Amino acid sequence: MAIFKCEKCGATKEGRCKPKKCSECGGNECLIKQEEKSSGGGCGCGCKTKK
């Protein structure tokens, strides 16, 4: 899952696919993918592979 943040209003949405429209302000194509911290070991790239 990824977290997308609106550049205009700052609202966040979690999902697998990038939303075309912000649900808060209604802006088009203003959502950018926010980098998520790696949780629980692995290779550090965010995948679930354990070393």
The model's pLDDT over 16-50, given as tens digits with 9 standing for 90+, comes to: 998 899 989 998 989 999 876 555 555 667 676 66
Q: Which domain holds residue 30?
A: 1-51
> What confidence score (pLDDT) does residue 44 get?
62
Furthest-apart CA atoms within the chain: distance in Å:
42
CATH code (residue 46):
2.20.28
Query: Residue 5 — very low, low, confident or very high, per pLDDT cuts 50/70/90?
Result: very high
d(CA 40, CA 30): 31
The domain tally of the chain equals: 1
Half-sphere exposure of 36 (CA within 13 A, CB side): 16
Q: How confident is the model over 1-26, as a mean pLDDT?
A: 91
Query: Residue 14 — very low, low, confident or very high, per pLDDT cuts 50/70/90?
Result: very high
pTM, full prediction: 0.61
